[in-house]
Structure 1
Amino acid sequence: MNEIVITLLRTFIVFLVLLTMFRFMGKKELGEISLLDVVVSLMIAELAVISIEDHNISLIRGLAPIFLLILLQVILGSIGMRNQSFRKLVEGSPVMLIEDGKLIQENLQKHRYTLDDILFQLRQAKIADIREVEYAVLERSGTLSIFRKGEENSQFTLPLVLDGVIQENNLRIIKRTKDWLLTELEKEGYYTVDHIFYCSYMDDSFFIEMKDHGT
């Protein structure tokens, strides 16, 4: 009976500690968690079980590695916010799998996405044939965003500048070059991309948002 009470008490304490610490990790939808979040969450779950079940380990000792993991997640997350290359390494980036009704086989192979996978996703979206698809983009979360030909929302915009960095891969997708982008931005009065927080291009027009002061 005493052991049950101790286990319940340790469970309650670990629950409160984890609830408090996860508040510092930021909020994301479940489908948007990164590989880093998954690894940290799995390790924390295992360590939490050990902290609850093993009464020979003090709570402080059991929670110490959990605190370390949370700290690492916060630090690495902060680095990712400031360093786009690191963020792409950890979280990946969206990839085009279908363009104008044609499969991009190189991207399918690179991301180990089989024909069965993509056909299943298309059937779920009520699409019977690949030729009906304008674009299909594999998101960082692993979900497939599908844009059907002829629909009002079949057009979508790709970011050309993110946090002062030109997205050359997206430029290749829209069949444009870095020189073209810099020339067009100069026409709009922007002579450097360093202070551009977000820039996209659709229907022959740019949407540009500058960085906040001090960012």
Structure 2
Amino acid sequence: MSIRAVLVFIAALLIIQVGNKRIFGKHTAFDIVLGIIYGSILSRAITGNSPFWPTLAAALTLVLLHRFFAFMAYNTSGFFGPFIKGDPVCLIKDGKIQEDELKKHSLTEKDLNEALRSGGVTDAKDVAYGFLERSGDISIVKKDS
């Protein structure tokens, strides 16, 4: 099993190189799903629960599919890009908290206040826009002084 683990580790590094850096870097739902499934498939190759080479081929197929979907999301307009990557959501507009959006996305004011502090702001009134980004991060755009 140790030899299989070493081989799978090396194969996984090579397969990820076929993809691109953002596969595990941006953490959108699109990327997280791949990470979970990729890890599950590769664990089968390590433990011997599935045939070795077909399991590695399945992992490569998933990475290529991820790359293809990313290409399609970038090069097409309309439904596909937002479906794969999501859309940002406005949580604060002109200093006013959008309560309905907080509720819709299960965010509390404490969550929002944490993001405000991280953005160097203590009061939502000092914010031009606050967005729940596709990655799940909250970004803050301060009002001009």
- Deviates most, 140-149 or 117-126: 117-126
Instruction: Flag structure 2 segments of 5+ consecutive residues without an equivalent.
Output: none
1:67 equivalenced with 2:54 (yes/no): no
Name the residue aligned to 2:40: 46
Aligned partner of 1:118: which letter? Answer: L
2:75 aligned residue (69, 82, 97): 82
Q: Percent identity?
A: 29
TM-score of the two chains, using structure 1 as the length reference: 0.59
Name the residue aligned to 1:19: 13
Instruction: Flag structure 1 segments of 5+ consecutive residues without an equivalent.
Output: 1-6, 152-215
Aligned partner of 1:77: which letter? Answer: A
Query: Over the residues paired in the alignment, what is the CA RMSD in angstroms?
Result: 2.2
Return closer, same or farther for 1:103/1:88 CA change in 2, 3 Å cut-off. same
Instruction: Give the distance between the partners of 1:26 and 1:81, measured in 2 at CA.
Output: 14
Higher-strand-fraction structure = 1
**Higher relative contact order by CA 8 Å / sep ≥ 6: 1 or 2?**
2
TM-score of the two chains, using structure 2 as the length reference: 0.84
Name the residue aligned to 2:90: 96
Larger radius of gyration: 1
Deviations 1:104-128 (A, max 9, x none): 2232233332222112222333422
Name the residue aligned to 2:133: 139
Higher-helix-fraction structure = 2
